[in-house]
């Protein structure tokens, strides 16, 4: 993910010599639509790994990621890996659009807070601040989307629990049972994951972008894929412990945990510190291809829109 003022706005490959020069200015519509394209590509490429990650985090019936994959496919077929995908697909456009907008706002706030700076180029620390800020408004969309997704991904592991037929059925059921609080269960855990995670995400992208970009040239598609993939890896290296806690809170019946700290403490007491790193392998396996696909989707969408206006 990136904003119109960041280096990621140049990720579409440069036009070949002799072709007409395209107008490559960003606007809110391009940012919104390109963000949606990035989100859809990310979900399509990464959801099977996400399903394995969530199941490993919320159940002790699997010996590892390979066993989880085998059991899931044996029971539900290959499409079992795509359970709960409707929720993130529906949520990715506003979520990514909010993230792009908030990242841009975060960068402007950093610049406004340092009026005497000699360069408009942000440091990696300042990109981290802007990235962390971007997670705050995005949580409005992310938390209920992931609450529905997690329940849909894990409901088959609970034979006595309520079964929902789809995303909207699950959302209605949760709202009837606990109102808006039920849909927003895990908000603190989502913030605990996404504020540092988004900071690492954007810094990871910007750092790789700077390392690969040559002066006066646009980043190639291959370099864009690599930078996007490394952004995802950068996020999940530090985001997995709060993500495990978030999944537990969102998959468990109301009242199981008093909150984020209580859930984490109970997990460590019962299963040891390693419980906070459940699903790390699946998360890292997902991170590179999913986020590389997201940046590729964004670059292709931007290129198409640059052709139009």
Per-residue pLDDT band at 306 (split at 50, 70, 90): confident
The answer for 226, left when phi > 0, alpha when psi is -120 to 50, beta otherwise, is alpha
Residue 1's pLDDT is 46
Mean pLDDT of the chain: 86
CB-neighbour burial class of residue 160 (10 A; exposed 0-12, middle 13-18, buried 19+): exposed
pLDDT over 50 (residue 5): no
pLDDT over 90 (residue 70): yes
* 1-10, 200-209, 248-257: least confident range: 1-10
pLDDT over 80 (residue 92): no
Residue 160's pLDDT is 64
pLDDT over 80 (residue 91): no
Query: How many Å apart are CA 303 and CA 293, to the nearest integer?
Result: 15
pLDDT over 80 (residue 119): yes
Residue with tokens 């995802």: 232
Q: Exposure string (b/e) for 280-296, b if CB count within 10 Å is 16 or more?
A: bbbbbbbbbbbbbbbbb
Cα dihedral sign for 227, 194, 34, 127?
negative
Residue 23's pLDDT is 56
- Asked whether the beta carbons of 205 and 227 are under 8 A apart, the reply is yes
| Residue 11, C-beta contacts closer than 8 angstroms, at least 6 positions apart | 2, 218, 219, 224, 227, 295, 298, 299, 302
Residue 58's pLDDT is 87
Per-residue pLDDT band at 2 (split at 50, 70, 90): very low
């Amino acid at each position: 993910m990136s904003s119109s003022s960041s280096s990621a706005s140049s990720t579409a490959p440069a036009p070949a010599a002799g072709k007409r020069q395209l107008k490559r200015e960003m606007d809110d519509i391009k940012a919104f639509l390109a963000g949606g394209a990035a989100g859809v590509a990310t979900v399509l490429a990464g959801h099977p790994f996400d399903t394995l990650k969530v199941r490993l985090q919320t159940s002790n019936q699997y010996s590892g990621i390979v066993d989880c994959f085998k059991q899931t496919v044996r029971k539900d077929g290959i499409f079992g890996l795509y359970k709960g995908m409707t929720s993130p697909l529906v949520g990715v456009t506003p979520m990514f659009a909010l993230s792009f907008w908030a990242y841009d706002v975060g960068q402007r706030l950093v610049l406004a807070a340092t009026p005497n700076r000699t360069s408009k180029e942000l440091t990696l620390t300042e990109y981290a601040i802007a990235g962390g800020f971007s997670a705050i408004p995005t949580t409005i969309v992310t938390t209920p989307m992931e609450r529905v997704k997690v329940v849909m991904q894990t409901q088959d592991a609970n034979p006595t629990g309520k079964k929902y037929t789809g995303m909207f059925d699950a959302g209605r059921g949760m709202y009837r049972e606990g109102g808006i609080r039920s849909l927003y269960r895990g908000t603190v855990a989502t913030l605990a994951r996404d504020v540092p995670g988004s900071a690492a995400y954007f810094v990871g992208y910007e750092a790789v972008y700077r390392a690969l970009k040559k002066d006066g040239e646009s980043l190639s598609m291959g370099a864009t894929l690599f930078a996007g993939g490394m952004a995802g890896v950068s996020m999940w290296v530090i985001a997995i412990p709060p993500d495990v806690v978030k999944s537990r809170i969102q998959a468990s019946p109301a009242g199981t945990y008093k909150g984020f700290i209580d859930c984490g403490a109970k997990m460590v007491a019962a299963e040891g510190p390693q419980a906070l790193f459940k699903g790390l392998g699946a998360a890292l396996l997902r991170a590179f291809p999913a986020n590389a696909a997201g940046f590729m989707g964004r670059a292709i969408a931007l290129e198409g829109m640059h052709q139009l206006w």
